[in-house]
Amino acid sequence: MSKDPYLSLLLFLLIYFLILIIIKSFNLFRKKTSKRFQLLCPGCKENVIKRIKRKNHDMYLNIMTLQLFKFKRYKCTICSWEGLRW
């Protein structure tokens, strides 16, 4: 590792972008749809999840990921799973 702070920052950004690209290309945290194009719950894998109102910190995640994913908050009505998917 170099002691140059600018080079370290550049390296950090490079790794950061690489992680974003990996998430995007491997469809990580991608919502899964059923045959009827409904969104399936990742918790119980049976029930359909519904869009709920996003929380304040969800907005920061979208900014941090450079609006590449447009994360939305979903909730399962049966197993109480709640999370973000894109």
* Stretch in the footprint of Zn ion (CB under 5 A) among 1-9, 18-26, 27-35, 78-86: 78-86
Q: Does 29 bind Zn ion (CB under 5 A)?
A: no
Strands 49-51, 82-85: parallel, antiparallel or unpaired by DSSP? Answer: unpaired
Of positions 20, 31, 40, 43, contacts Zn ion by CB under 5 A: 43
3-state helix, strand, coil split of the chain in percent (to 5) is 35, 20, 45
C-beta closer to Zn ion: residue 39 or 41: 41
Cβ distance to Zn ion smaller for residue 29 or 65: 29
Decide: helix, strand or coil at residue 51: strand
Our CA dihedral for 34, 50, 27, 23, rounded to 10 degrees, sits at -170
Q: Does 81 bind Zn ion (CB under 5 A)?
A: yes
Binding positions for Zn ion, rule: CB under 5 A: 41, 43-44, 47, 76, 78-79, 81
